[in-house]
Amino acid sequence: MTLSFKKPIILTRINQDNKDFVNLFLSTYKLENIKNCFKCLPLIEIVLEKKTKETIGSNPLIFTSRHGVQAISLMSNLAEKEIFCVGQSTANLAIELGLKNVFYPSVGTVSNLVQLIRSKVDNNSSSLHYFRGEEISYDLKGELSKFGYVITESIVYRQKQIRSERLINNIISKENAGGVVFFSASVAKIFCKGIKIVPEDFLFMCISDRVAQVVFEAQLKGNYKVKIASQPTTEEIIELIYNEKSIWPN
């Protein structure tokens, strides 16, 4: 079965993430091909920082992104450590790199990750090491600290903008896209910053309320819609897109 939308939906993540998203979309709905469905427009690139020089010790490690796992891939003596990942794709990368004691929640949200850590790490005074990006959308350290955990943070990657607001506005003004998907507030800010008018019935599909709030605060002109996934997961974004009948041909 081949699926087609009226106008393509813009995917704004890095190339590999966009590719993985399209493949998951295909496999979820048992599709052989998709035509005129997605336009890949990465707005950022990920810059890995130099290998952390901090001492890890025996503490469990936390990752809320595959980029964090990539950043520590050259470090030694990690195979036997307890690894807590936000979701399956992050966990799969950790396993591919030879890490053995990898745990992740069945539903990949940060709040579920907190609950998983609490269930696995019994001593509330335990220390954990959190490898993260420069910008975060959830204060994981603050949340875990409420339960007595001591969290060391290492910033091991950052986002670098690679598309100009002028280019984004040009694409939108020509009305050759039906919507856009946002997985992070920082990318939503980049996208919305230079837009003057949004086309009729344009869709902003957001992974969470926090990301959607960026769109609302931008106060864009035009008759657009903001849709929010029922849970902050890739799977729920896929379901949101598939069930949005306004993007399908009549």
Bridge partner list, 153: 130
Mean pLDDT of 11-20: 93
Segments forming the whole domain that contains residue 107: 46-159
**Residue 46 is encoded by which pair of tokens?**
């990920």
Q: How confident is the model at residue 42, as a pLDDT? A: 94
Instruction: Indicate whether 155 and 50 sit together in one domain.
Output: yes
Confidence of residue 131 (pLDDT cuts 50, 70, 90): very high
Instruction: Indicate whether 60 and 124 sit together in one domain.
Output: yes
Instruction: Indicate whether 154 and 238 sit together in one domain.
Output: no
Looking at 102, 133, 159, the residue that finishes a domain is 159
- Identify residue 78 by its one-letter amino acid code: L
Q: Contact at 8 Å (CB) between 132 and 153?
A: yes
Instruction: Indicate whether 155 and 170 sit together in one domain.
Output: no
Looking at 112, 132, 159, the residue that finishes a domain is 159
Instruction: Indicate whether 56 and 29 sit together in one domain.
Output: no
Look at residues 28, 38, 89 and name the one whose alpha carbon lies nearest to residue 64: 89
pLDDT over 80 (residue 124): no
Q: What is the DSSP letter of 197?
A: B
- Tens digits of per-residue pLDDT, 207-237? 999 999 999 999 999 999 999 999 888 999 9
Instruction: Indicate whether 134 and 60 sit together in one domain.
Output: yes
Q: Contact at 8 Å (CB) between 57 and 26?
A: no
Looking at 159, 185, 209, the residue that finishes a domain is 159
Q: Give me the number of domains the chain comprises.
A: 2
Instruction: Indicate whether 29 and 102 sit together in one domain.
Output: no
- Tens digits of per-residue pLDDT, 17-76? 999 999 999 999 988 888 889 999 999 999 998 655 555 667 899 999 999 999 888 777
Instruction: Indicate whether 79 and 129 sit together in one domain.
Output: yes
pTM: 0.86
Domain CATH code at residue 39: 3.40.50.10090
103: left (phi over 0), alpha (psi -120 to 50) or beta: beta
